[in-house]
Amino acid sequence: MTNRQKLILNNIPFAQIIAGRMYKSVGNILEYEEILSCATIGLIDAIDKYKDNYGAKFNTYAFFRMKGVIIDELRKIDHLSRNMRQKIKDNLIEDITLVDYDKVKNILPKNYLEINEDKIDIELAIKKLSKIEQIIIYYHYYYDLSDGAISTKLNKKYSTIRRIRIQAIQKLKIYLGGE
């Protein structure tokens, strides 16, 4: 067994710790095994690129390499740009009624659209929804966020966001005289 292989095997528990910590914060996006794979790739990369002459401890260097690979993987599957994610983090949502009417009308019953295309009715119907339903509808139809992206933002499971969004759409249809 080479020194490189020994270093890898000796540091796998460290990679597991890093993967476990990251999983707690992003577990609704990636599975633990995927995060551990990324951490292991980062560990191997750290072993290959580490130079002692910079004065950093190997564990410190490896920590940042592993975390960096995990974050890179998250960015690959994220549909939002960094700018959009920052806007969401900054909570620039002031008015729920800014939902794009053209996007919302696609979920409304056809008989409602034939009778009345009044934007105010939609705004009033949205205001009847619970706060979480309003936020999810807003994120989905104004920012074009997927249920996965919304689950990340609100720190809720994907299935919960999807269920709430579907319920909110059903309520909107009822409020607006449809199905």
User: Which two structure tokens, joined as six digits, stand for 155?
Assistant: 């720190």
Q: What angle (nearest 5°) sits at the alpha carbon of residue 110, between those of residues 145 and 163?
A: 40
Q: Which amino acid belongs to residue 150?
A: I
In this prediction, residue 114 carries a pLDDT of 42
pTM of the model: 0.48
User: Which two structure tokens, joined as six digits, stand for 1?
Assistant: 């067994």
Spell out the per-residue pLDDT of the chain, length 179, in tens.
Answer: 888 888 889 999 999 999 998 888 776 677 889 999 999 999 999 999 888 767 778 888 899 999 999 988 887 876 666 666 666 555 544 433 344 445 555 554 444 444 445 555 677 777 788 888 888 888 887 777 888 888 888 888 888 888 998 898 888 878 777 65
Measured between alpha carbons, how far is 98 from 101 in angstroms, rounded to an integer?
8
Domains of the chain: 3-77 (1.10.1740.10), 82-175 (1.10.10.10)
Number of H helices, E strands in the chain: 10, 0
Residues 6+ positions from 9 with CB-CB distance below 8 Å: none
Could you tell me the CA-to-CA distances from 5 to 2, 12, 79 in Å, in that order?
Answer: 5, 11, 36
